[in-house]
């Protein structure tokens, strides 16, 4: 069993809850006219550098995400896509040097990483980390109940939690054994990706950021992951996915496709822009106005 301090260290980036779609978490939704009338996420001229080296990576990102939208960010290797996602969740490797990010009407940049998660920002990382000594079910139950506690709801007992987790396991087509195994320990690359979506399904999110969730997935796993994500999506939450591949876009049908280049969103279009990217490459597409 991990100590509480080692567990809490991993929590800010693992703890990403928020209300949801099909189960009790539906009660967490407090959508009002005022929250639906404003963008879910509004990023203006966001600039950020790497703390250690002072190198600026984000050079003025602008992005608006409304509830119910599915956004895809594509772009050359090293263009800043993952950095953007990590800055949004408050990763300590980066320092924001300019611009603003408003999430659900609040200044996201003033929140600690864990608060961002509690507010409903979920991120799955390209390479999800293992948490030795903590089983998947312990982790999920703790996170789920912490979320309920934050919202003033009673904790679920073991039996209720078990049936809730089983329902979510089925959604991502994972075997119950995965609940007893330590978080991501010994998981294959594809199993880690599925496990990320299991966390999303259990915890819910207003905005889910999936960084290359499709990389390393076989065709069946990709279909399972896309199917689970599409069932988690509702008109009241949103998805921001980073990908290099068209196949997940065909399954999740983004409403907006962005090309990131040199730390900025250089171009925005719809799914048809992907054909131009495949035919002409990022540089040509980024240069078009
Ligand atoms: N913590 C860090 N330390 C050093 N360099 C970093 C760090 N984070 C990002 N970078 C650098 O910033 C640039 C952007 O990286 P980032 O991971 O955001 O790119 P990306 O667009 O997601 O690329 P890919 O498509 O290859 O995943 C790269 O040159 C990368 O090496």
The Cα 289–Cα 116 span in angstroms is 34
DSSP 26: G
The Cα 160–Cα 257 span in angstroms is 40
Q: Do the beta carbons of residue 124 and residue 203 sit within 8 Å? A: no
Task: Work out whether strand 94-103 and strand 131-135 pair parallel, antiparallel, or are unpaired.
Answer: unpaired
The Cα 11–Cα 118 span in angstroms is 11
Tokens of 264: 């900025």
d(CA 81, ligand 1 centre) in Å: 8
| Domain definitions of the chain by residue range | 4-287
For the chain, helix (H) and strand (E) counts, in that order, are: 12, 12
| Predicted ipTM of the assembly | 0.98
The Cα 150–Cα 117 span in angstroms is 12
d(CA 78, ligand 1 centre) in Å: 5
d(CA 57, ligand 1 centre) in Å: 8
Ligand 1: residue of 48, 58, 81 to mutate (most ligand atoms within 8 A of CB) is 81
Give domain 4-287's CATH superfamily: P-loop containing nucleotide triphosphate hydrolases (3.40.50.300)
Ligand 1: residue of 13, 49, 76, 80 to mutate (most ligand atoms within 8 A of CB) is 80
The Cα 185–Cα 113 span in angstroms is 23
Q: Tens digit of pLDDT per residue, the chain (289 long)?
A: 333 333 333 344 444 333 333 333 333 334 444 456 799 999 999 999 999 999 999 999 999 999 999 999 999 999 999 999 999 999 999 999 999 999 999 999 999 998 898 888 999 988 888 999 999 999 999 888 887 887 788 988 888 989 999 999 999 999 999 999 999 999 999 999 999 999 999 988 999 999 999 998 999 999 999 999 999 999 999 999 999 999 999 999 999 999 999 999 999 999 999 988 988 888 888 776 5
Residue whose structure tokens are 């330590």: 182
Q: What is the pTM for the complete model shown?
A: 0.87
């Amino acid at each position: 069993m991990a100590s509480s301090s080692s567990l809490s260290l991993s929590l800010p980036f693992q703890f990403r809850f928020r209300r949801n779609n099909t189960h009790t978490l539906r009660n967490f939704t407090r959508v009002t006219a005022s929250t639906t009338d404003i963008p879910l996420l509004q990023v203006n001229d966001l600039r950020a550098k790497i703390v250690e080296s002072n190198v600026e990576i984000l050079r003025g990102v602008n992005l608006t995400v409304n509830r119910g939208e599915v956004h895809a960010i594509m772009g050359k290797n090293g263009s800043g896509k993952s950095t953007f996602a990590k800055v949004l969740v408050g990763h300590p490797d980066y320092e924001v040097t300019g611009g603003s990010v408003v999430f659900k009407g609040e200044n996201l940049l003033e929140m600690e990483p864990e608060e961002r998660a509690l507010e409903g920002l979920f991120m799955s990382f390209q390479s999800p980390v293992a948490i030795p000594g903590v089983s998947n079910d312990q982790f999920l139950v703790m996170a789920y109940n912490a979320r309920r506690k934050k919202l003033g709801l009673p904790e679920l007992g073991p039996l209720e939690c078990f049936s809730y987790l089983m329902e979510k396991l089925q959604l991502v087509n994972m075997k119950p054994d995965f609940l007893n195994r330590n978080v991501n320990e010994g998981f294959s690359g594809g199993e880690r990706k599925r496990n990320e979506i299991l966390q999303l399904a259990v915890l819910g999110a207003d905005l889910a950021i999936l960084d290359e969730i499709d990389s390393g997935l076989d065709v069946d796993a990709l279909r399972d992951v896309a199917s689970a994500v599409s069932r988690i999506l509702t008109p009241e939450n949103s998805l921001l996915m980073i990908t290099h591949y068209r196949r997940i876009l065909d399954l999740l049908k983004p409403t907006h496709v962005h090309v990131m280049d040199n730390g900025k969103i250089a171009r925005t279009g719809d799914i048809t822009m992907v054909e131009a990217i495949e035919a002409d490459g990022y540089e040509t597409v980024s240069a078009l106005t």
